[in-house]
Amino acid sequence: MSGLYQVQGIVLSTWDFRETDRLLHILTPSRGKITAIAKGVRKAHSSLRSGTQRLCLARFLLYDGRSIATVTQCQVEEFFAPLRSNLERLLTACYLAEIAEVSVPAGQASPEMFDLLRRSLDLLTRENPPMVARAFEARALRVLGFAPRLEACSACGGPLAEGLIPFAPGAGGALCGRCGSQYGAEYRVSREALAVWRNLASAGGSHLGRLKISARCRRELAEILPAYLEYYLDRRLKSRILMEQIGEDAYEYGTRKN
């Protein structure tokens, strides 16, 4: 049947629909983000239950209907079980999935984002959650074409300021002393933070456990990376707000200049 196709995907989000159905957003490498319905999946003995859970990597057999795809079969490839038994890892995983969900248009192939999310969820099962998040943010910005300029002034191209360096999302990156205070919301960051950002954006995640980073640098990156990403996505991310509300302190350090 021409309407049937098979695809590998990660379930980004789910929501209940009607009495026993569930709607899914699935990130795939070849078809981008797909909205699909899993009919009867909320019944106790549904064969679709395991593969249609949020943050599950599975192979789906879908029927492409007029307005929405229907999940006819699914086979779990990776459940990422350690994420589901640790609140910090689970919240971080939901945050990464939300970034992918809001940044990949429906139907637009994005193998880079799919591969980044898949590898990041795997890393998250064993590495430090905040550092996995920082690496994902840095690399997602590069995939999306929003990577900042970090080695020279993003406004004039000149050398960066001495000491703490002005960083403005509105300017597209770091600034020299002369160009600072001209581009809206601005942060003050160390050269170490900019160097680590460049490292996270260009390297694979397998080195995260070996990175030697000061506590101050971690705090700076925990504020400026999500803020820069949200600026270019033009929205606050709900999962990040939730992390703040339940006491996640990675965003509470006040490097922002008022």
Higher pLDDT, 185 or 253: 185
The full DSSP string for the chain is -TTEEEEEEEEEEEEEETTTEEEEEEEETTTEEEEEEETTTTSTT-TTTGGGSTT-EEEEEEEE-SSSEEEEEEEEEE--GGGGG-HHHHHHHHHHHHHHHHHSPBT---HHHHHHHHHHHHHHTTS-HHHHHHHHHHHHHHHHT-PPB-SS-TTT--PPPSSSEEEEGGGTEE--TTTTTSSSSEEEE-HHHHHHHHHHHHS-GGGGGG----HHHHHHHHHHHHHHHHHHHTS--HHHHHHHHTT--TT-S--EE-
Structure confidence by residue, pLDDT tens digits, 75-96? 999 999 999 999 999 999 999 9
Which residues in the chain are classed under CATH 2.40.50.140?
A: 4-80
pLDDT band at 1 (very low <50, low <70, confident <90, very high): very low
Listed residue (239, 253, 258) closest to 88, CA to CA: 239
Which residues in the chain are classed under CATH 1.20.1440?
A: 127-257
What fold is seen in the domain 127-257? de novo design (two linked rop proteins) (1.20.1440)
Structure confidence by residue, pLDDT tens digits, 119-151? 999 999 999 999 999 999 999 999 999 999 999
Structure confidence by residue, pLDDT tens digits, 145-180? 999 999 999 999 999 988 999 999 999 999 999 998
CATH of domain 4-80: 2.40.50.140
